[in-house]
Structure 1
Amino acid sequence: MPPPGKVPRKENLGLQCEWGSCSFVCSAMEEFCEHVTQHLRQHLHASGEEEDEEEDPLEEEFSCLWQECGFCSMDSSADLIRHVYFHCYHTKLKQWGLQALQSQADLSPCILDFQSRNIIPDIPDHFLCLWEHCESSFDNPEWFYRHVEAHSLCCEYQAVGKDNQVVLCGWKGCTCTFKDCRKLREHLRSHTQEKVVACPTCGGMFANNTKFLDHIRRQTALDQQRFQCSHCSKRFATERLLRDHMRNHVNHYKCPLCDMTCPLPSSLRNHMRFRHSEDRPFKCDCCEYSCKNLIDLRKHLDTHSKEPAYRCDFESCGFSARSLCSIKSHYRKVHEGDSEPRYKCHVCDKCFTRGNNLTVHLREKHQFKWPSGHPRFRYKEHEDGYMRLQLVRYESVELTQQLLRQPQDGLDPGASLSESSLQGIILEAVPGDPGPQEEAEEEEEGGSGDGTALSASQDTPSPVIHVVNQTNAQGEQESICCLHGGLRRRL
Structure 2
Amino acid sequence: METTGHGSPIEQNWCSGSPTEDSHVDCDSKTSNAGDQAAAQVNLDNAGEKPYMCGKCGYRATLKSTLSQHMRTHTGEKPYKCDQCSYSSAQQSSLNLHLSKHSGEKPYICGECGYRTAMRSNLSQHMRTHTGVKPYKCDRCDYSAAHKTTFNQHLAKHTGQKPYMCGECGYRTASRSHLSRHISIHTGEKPYKCDLCDYSAAQKSDLVVHLSKHTGEKPYICGECGYRTTQKVTLSRHMRAHTSEKTYKCDQCSYSTASKSILTQHMKIHTEAP
Shorter-chain TM band: 0.3 to 0.5
Larger-Rg structure:
1
- When the two structures are superposed, what TM-score results if normalisation uses the length of structure 2? 0.36
- When the two structures are superposed, what TM-score results if normalisation uses the length of structure 1? 0.23
